Structure 1
Amino acid sequence: MDPEIKVASDAEAPEKKVASAAKGLETESTCATKGPEIDRPLLFTTESPDCIFRASGLMRAGRESDFVPKSVSIGPYYHGRENLKRMEDIKVQCMSDLWKMRSVGGSNLDRVPVDRFMRFESKARRFYKEKFDLSDVKFIEMLVLDSFFVIRIMLHVSGYVDERMDLNIKEAVSDLLLLENQIPLFFIKEVWDWLNLCGDVILLFHLIGSTFRQLDLPWWIKSDTLPKKSDHLLHFYWKISEASTKKKIKEDHADPMQRMIKLLEKVRSGRSRGPSQKLIVNATELHQTAGISFKNVKIDHHNGDCVEFSKGIIWMPSLKIDSSQTTLLVNLVAFENSMFLFHRTISTYIKIMDDLIDSSKDVELLQKSGVVYNTLSSHTEAATFFNNIGNLCFIDYEDNPFSYLFENVNKYYKSCWNRHWANLRQNYFNSPWSVIAVLAGTTLLFLAGAQTYYTVFPKN
C-alpha cells in the first residue's frame, strides 16, 4: 500500500479514497531557510505578508521550549518533527470525521482534496517569513489537514461534537496559540466554507472565540468583539484580548502615523525609556508605605480594563500562573514585539505585573489578595518569570493603554497624607487589640483632660 496520503483531483468524484492506514503517512521534515529576525514594526491588518515568523533570538534565549509545540504541529515550521508524527494520524481521522458530518450518506473522503485549494498556494506562502522545501502539493496538503484538525478541535471544545478525541485537548489548544505554529486563518475559512457544516464563517469565529474563552487569562472576551479579519489564530486571540484590555485612545492620538512621529521624536530626544525602567514600585512597597491594597474583580463585572485603580485599591481579575499560561504570555509578547509600541497592550499588562512583582513576597501578597493564583513550584519561580519576561516588554511609557494607571498610582504613593495614614494603620491599627488600646488611651486622655478642666474651672 502506498504510504502517502493520496491527493484527490477535481477531475474525480468528491468522495475519493484516502489511504485507510495513516500510520505510514509520509511527513517530510521541513528544512526552512532561516530568514532575518523581525526587527521592524508591522501593522497587522488582514492577510499581511510575512506575518507568521519565528521569535527573535532575544525572545528565544533561555525559553526555546515556549515556542515549540508539544503535541501537534500546525504549519511548516515544525512539520515532520519526529515526536509530533503521531498527530498526523489524528489529522487524517479529523478529516474523515468532518467529511462524514458533511455527507448526508456518511460516505468517506479517502483523499486529501488538494486540487480544490491549489489556487491559494501562492497567497498562503506569502504569509510566512521563511521559505520551505515543500512542493506546492505537499504545502497545500499540509494546510488542508491542519485546517481539518483546527476545525475539529474547535467543534469539540465548543460542545458541537461529543465524540472524544484521542489527544490532550488542553495541550493541543495551547499549541494552536504558539507564534511559530500557525497557518493563515483565511485558509481555515476556505476549508470551513467547502465543508459547509453548520453555517457561515461567522459561526467559525464564534467557535474560535468559545474555545479561547476557556483560557484562564485575566481579560474578558465578548462575543461582540470577535474580529472578522485576522491573519492567524494567535492574531485572532490577540485582537479579542486587546479589545478588552485597552483604554480608548484620545482623539489627538487616534492617527497611528501621528503617534509614530511623536514616538520617533521621543527616541531622538532621549525621552524614551527601556524595559528595565520601573514605573511603579512593587506590591509590598505600595501596600506597606502608602496603604494601597489589591482586590480581585470579576472579569465580566468591570468596564473592560483588566487593571484599574480607584481610592487606594488596584482592581485586577485573577491571573492563574501555570506553565501553559506563561507559555501563552511569552508568545503574545513575542508577537507584539513586531508591532508599533502603542499597539502592545498585552506587553503593557505584563510590564505592570513585572513592576508589582519583585520577589516571592509580592507574589504571596497578590495571592492573598486574590489577584494571582500561582500553581508553579514556588512563588520565587513565579517572580522570576515576570522579572525575566518583563525585561522583554518594550513599550511606550507615555502612550500606552495604562499610562493613566501608572500616573494615578504614583500620585497616591507619593502623597504624604496617604503615607502617614498607612503608617498609622500599620503600627496602631494592625490588630483588634491595637484598636482597643488606642480607643482606651484616647478615652483616658479625654477623661484626664476633662478632670483637669473642671479642677481649674470648678462650677459655681
Structure 2
Amino acid sequence: MESNFGEGESNHHVIDMWKVDPDRLASMQLKISENPKLLSKAAGRRSCCIFRVPQGLIEANGKAYQPRIVSIGPYHRGQPRLNMIEEHKWRYLGSLLSRTQTKGLTLEKLLEAIAPLENEARECYSETIQLDSHEFIEMMVLDGCFIIELFRKVGKLVPFEHGDPLITMAWILPFFYRDFLKLENQIPLFILQRLFEISQLPGETTALTTPTLSFLAMEFFNYSLQRPDEVINTTSSSLCTANHLLDLVRSSFVVVEETEKNRITTPTHVIHCVSKLRRAGIKLIPGKLNESFLHVTFRHGVIEMPMITMDDFMTSFLLNCVAFEQCYSGCFTKQFTTYVTLLDCLINTYRDVEYLCDRNIIENHFGTEGEVASFINNAGKDVAVDLDLCYLSRLFNEVHEYYRNSWHVQWASFKYTYFDTPWSFISALAALVLLILTIGQTYFAAYDYFDGSNS
C-alpha cells in the first residue's frame, strides 16, 4: 500500500513540475493556422489540374515522370541539368518578338496580357508556388512563348533559324515530345491560348485556314503518335476543354462511353492472362487500324484490341496519363487507368507479350518481350480503379463468364492440347489411326477365334 501510494505521489509530482513551453505552444498554434503547401487545400478542386506525381507511382516506374531536357512550369524550374534548353527559351522569345514588335506587340504587352490570369494559373497547381508575381508571370510568358514558337516552327508557319540546334540535332525533338506531355511539366492551356492569340500574325496560315493552337499541338505530337488526319481535325475543331497539353492529347484517345450499355448490377471480376484465356477458347484479334487503342470490345469469345505501339514515347505518355487520372478530381472517366489495368490482367510473362505481338495487338519498339511485360506490370501497381464503374466493366464480366463456362473450357482445352500446332495435330492423328488399327486387329483376331471354335 505504501509503495503504491508513493509511486502515485511521485507521478503527481512530475506532472506538477511539467510546464507548457510558451515558444513551443506558439509554434504549434502557427502550424495549426498555416495552410498546407505541398498539397494545397485547392488540390481537390476541378481548377487544380497540375500535380506532383504520387510517390507510389514514382517508386514503381522510376524517372518516367521527370523532364529529361526541358522544364515547363514551376516544379522543375531552375534545375541545372535543364539549363541548356533554358537558354534557348530566351532565344525563341526573342525570335517571336522580332516579328511582333513591328506590329505593336512588345514584351511589356505580353506580360500585361498574362498578369490578370496569374491567380487563376496559380490555382492550377497542387502545390503553393513560392514565386512572387513578377517571377511567376515571367515564367508563364517565357515557357508559353517557347512552346508556341516551337509549335509554329515545326508546323512550318515560321521558319527555323539557319542551323538552329533544336532542329538540326536529331535527338532533341523526341525529348520535347515526351517532356511536354509529363504531368509535372505543364502550364495551363488557357495561358498558352492567350499567348497564342495575341502573338498571331495575319500571315500565319496554312493553305486554306488559320490553324488553331490545338491543331498545331496535335500536329506537333503526331510525329510520335502517328494518328490519322481525321482524329487530329476532330480534336482541333471541337470545343477545347482540356486543362493542359497532356490532357489535350489524352482526350484525343478517350472513347465515347455508352453508359447504359456498360452499367452493371453485379460486382466486376478481373480476368485471366492471355495464356489462360486462350486455353478457354477466348481469342484476341487486332481492332480497326485507325481506332484508339482504348476501344476494346468482346463478342462471341473474341477480344478485339486495336494495336498499340510500345516505345519510349508511348510508355511515358501512358504513365503520365494514368498519373493525371489518379490525381485530378475532375477526371470522371479514367480510361487510361482502366486500359493499363486490362493490360496488367492480360500480361503475366513474356509469352503473353509474345502472343500479343504475333497477333498485331502490340507493336514492340520498347525492348524485349520480358521488358514490355515488366513495364506493364509496374504500370498497374498502386493505381486505384473502380472496375464496377469503369468503361470496360461489362467487358471484364463477359470475359469472366465466358471463361467460367465449363463447355467452352473443356472443348477449348481439347483443341489447345491436340490442335494448337501442326505437330500436335499430326501426333493426335497418328494416335487415332493407331487406336483404330489396334481395335481392328483385336476385332479380327477375336472373330477368327470364335469362328474357329464354332467350326
TM over 0.5: yes
Question: 5+ residue gaps in structure 1?
Answer: 1-32, 254-258, 263-270, 456-460
Instruction: Write the distance in 2 (CA, Å) between the matches of 1:334 and 1:385.
Output: 15
CA shift for structure 1 position 113: 3.8
Instruction: Write the distance in 2 (CA, Å) between the matches of 1:37 and 1:353.
Output: 34
Counterparts of residues 51-450 of structure 1 (less than 5 Å):
51-102=49-100, 113-161=110-158, 163=160, 165-167=164-166, 168-197=172-201, 198=204, 203-216=212-225, 221-226=231-236, 227-242=239-254, 244=255, 246-250=256-260, 279-287=270-278, 289-300=279-290, 306-339=295-328, 342-432=332-422
Call closer, same or farther: CA 1:394–1:430 in 2, change over 3 Å.
Answer: same
Q: Which amino acid aligns with 2:187?
A: I
Partners of 1:356 and 1:362 within 8 A in 2: yes
Partners of 1:155 and 1:207 within 8 A in 2: yes
Call closer, same or farther: CA 1:305–1:72 in 2, change over 3 Å.
Answer: closer
Instruction: Write the distance in 2 (CA, Å) between the matches of 1:382 and 1:34.
Output: 37
Instruction: Write the distance in 1 (CA, Å) between the matches of 2:267 and 2:413.
Output: 35
Q: Which amino acid aligns with 2:410?
A: H
Instruction: Write the distance in 2 (CA, Å) between the matches of 1:52 and 1:129.
Output: 6
Q: Deviations over 1:180-222 (max 9, x none)?
A: 1111111111111111233699611111222334444999945
Call closer, same or farther: CA 1:345–1:195 in 2, change over 3 Å.
Answer: same
Partner secondary structure for residue 309 of structure 1: strand
In proportion to residue count, which structure has more helix?
2
Instruction: Write the distance in 2 (CA, Å) between the matches of 1:360 and 1:349.
Output: 19
Partners of 2:253 and 2:294 within 8 A in 1: no
Q: Deviations over 1:29-58 (max 9, x none)?
A: xxxx9512899865x4xxx1x322211222
Partners of 1:77 and 1:181 within 8 A in 2: yes
Instruction: Write the distance in 2 (CA, Å) between the matches of 1:292 and 1:40.
Output: 43
What does residue 13 of structure 2 align with? none
TM-score by length of 1: 0.73
Instruction: Write the distance in 1 (CA, Å) between the matches of 2:226 and 2:381.
Output: 21
CA shift for structure 1 position 159: 4.3
CA shift for structure 1 position 248: 2.1
Partner secondary structure for residue 85 of structure 1: helix
State the aligned residue count. Answer: 391
Partners of 1:38 and 1:56 within 8 A in 2: no
Instruction: Write the distance in 1 (CA, Å) between the matches of 2:227 and 2:277.
Output: 22
Partners of 1:290 and 1:419 within 8 A in 2: yes
Partners of 2:50 and 2:126 within 8 A in 1: yes
CA shift for structure 1 position 77: 0.9
Partner secondary structure for residue 343 of structure 1: coil
Partner secondary structure for residue 303 of structure 2: strand
Q: Which amino acid aligns with 1:248?
A: E
Partners of 1:37 and 1:54 within 8 A in 2: no
Partners of 1:112 and 1:145 within 8 A in 2: no
Partners of 1:96 and 1:109 within 8 A in 2: no
Partners of 1:154 and 1:211 within 8 A in 2: yes
Q: Deviations over 1:50-86 (max 9, x none)?
A: 3222112222225451221111110111111111111
- Point out the structure with max Rg over C-alpha: 2
Partners of 2:262 and 2:394 within 8 A in 1: no
Partners of 1:112 and 1:144 within 8 A in 2: no
What does residue 32 of structure 2 align with? none
Partners of 2:65 and 2:182 within 8 A in 1: yes
Partner secondary structure for residue 93 of structure 1: helix
Partners of 2:282 and 2:301 within 8 A in 1: yes
Partners of 2:72 and 2:187 within 8 A in 1: yes
Once superposed, what is the RMSD of the aligned Cα atoms?
3.8
Question: 5+ residue gaps in structure 2?
Answer: 1-35, 167-171, 448-455
Fraction of identical pairs, as percent = 28
Instruction: Write the distance in 2 (CA, Å) between the matches of 1:140 and 1:37.
Output: 20
Instruction: Write the distance in 1 (CA, Å) between the matches of 2:294 and 2:81.
Output: 41
